[in-house]
Amino acid sequence: MRKLFLCNSKNIRNHGSKSLVPRSCMKTSRIAQNLQTLMLFVALVVSQFVSQPTQSSIGRESQQVLAVGNSKILFSVQEGPLSVSRADLAVYVKDAARAVTAYYGTFPVHKAVINFVPSDDDGVGLGTSTYDDDEDYGVVTINIGENTTRRDLRNSWTLTHELMHLGFPVVSHHKRWLSEGIATYVEPIGRMRIGNLSSEEVWGDLLDNLPKGLPRRGDGGLRSARNFDRIYWGGALYCLLADVEIRQRTNNRVGLEDALRSIAKQGGTAASNWDAEDAVAAGDKGLGVNVLHPLYTKMGEQPISIDVPAYLRKLGVVKSGETVTFDERAPLAAIRRAIDGSD
The pLDDT tens digits of the residues spanning 226-236 come to 999 999 999 99
pLDDT band at 1; cut points 50, 70, 90: low
The whole-chain average pLDDT of the chain stands at: 86
- Kindly give the pairing relationship between strand 25-27 and strand 2-7: antiparallel
Closest by Cα among 149, 103, 106, 34 to 265? 106
Close Cβ partners of 112 (under 8 Å, ≥ 6 residues apart): 71, 72, 73, 74, 137, 138, 139, 140, 163, 166
Q: How far apart, in whole angstroms, are the C-alpha atoms of residue 115 and residue 150?
A: 18
Query: In the predicted model, is pLDDT for residue 83 greater than 60?
Result: yes
C-alpha to C-alpha distances, 22 to 28, 155, 157, nearest whole angstrom: 19, 11, 8
Q: Which element (helix H / strand E) includes 20?
A: strand 18-20
C-alpha to C-alpha distances, 236 to 155, 186, 240, 263, 296, nearest whole angstrom: 20, 8, 6, 18, 12
Q: Which residue has the higher pLDDT, 187 or 7?
A: 187
Cβ atoms of 26 and 33 within 8 Å: the answer is: no
- What are the extents of the domains in the chain? 2-165, 196-340
pLDDT band at 3; cut points 50, 70, 90: low
Q: What is the pLDDT of residue 315?
A: 98
The pLDDT > 70 percentage for the chain reads 82
Close Cβ partners of 242 (under 8 Å, ≥ 6 residues apart): 256, 259, 291, 292, 295
DSSP 91-143: HHHHHHHHHHHHHHSS-SSSEEEEEEEEESSSSEEEEEEEEETTTTEEEEEEE
The pLDDT > 90 percentage for the chain reads 79
Q: What is the mean pLDDT of residues 237-260?
A: 98
pLDDT band at 38; cut points 50, 70, 90: very low
Phi, psi for residue 148 in degrees, rounded to 5: -60, 140
Q: How far apart, in whole angstroms, are the C-alpha atoms of residue 159 and residue 88?
A: 14
Q: What is the mean pLDDT of residues 81-99?
A: 96
Q: What is the pLDDT of residue 40?
A: 30
Return the DSSP state at 322. T
Cβ atoms of 166 and 133 within 8 Å: the answer is: no
Longest CA span, the chain: 57
The pLDDT tens digits of the residues spanning 160-179 come to 999 999 999 999 989 999 99
Q: What is the pLDDT of residue 342?
A: 80
Q: What is the pLDDT of residue 10?
A: 37
Q: What is the pLDDT of residue 14?
A: 34
Query: In the predicted model, is pLDDT for residue 261 greater than 90?
Result: yes
Q: What is the dihedral of CA 75, 77, 82, 88, to 10 degrees?
A: 20
Q: How far apart, in whole angstroms, are the C-alpha atoms of residue 80 and residue 64?
A: 17
Query: In the predicted model, is pLDDT for residue 110 greater than 60?
Result: yes
Query: In the predicted model, is pLDDT for residue 20 greater than 60?
Result: no
Query: In the predicted model, is pLDDT for residue 184 greater than 50?
Result: yes
The CA-based angle 301-4-172, given to 5 degrees, is 20
Q: What is the pLDDT of residue 39?
A: 37
Amino acid 37 reads: T
Q: What is the mean pLDDT of residues 36-54?
A: 35
Question: In the chain, where does DSSP find H-type helix?
Answer: 39-49, 54-58, 86-104, 150-155, 158-165, 176-193, 199-209, 228-249, 256-265, 276-287, 292-301, 308-314, 333-340
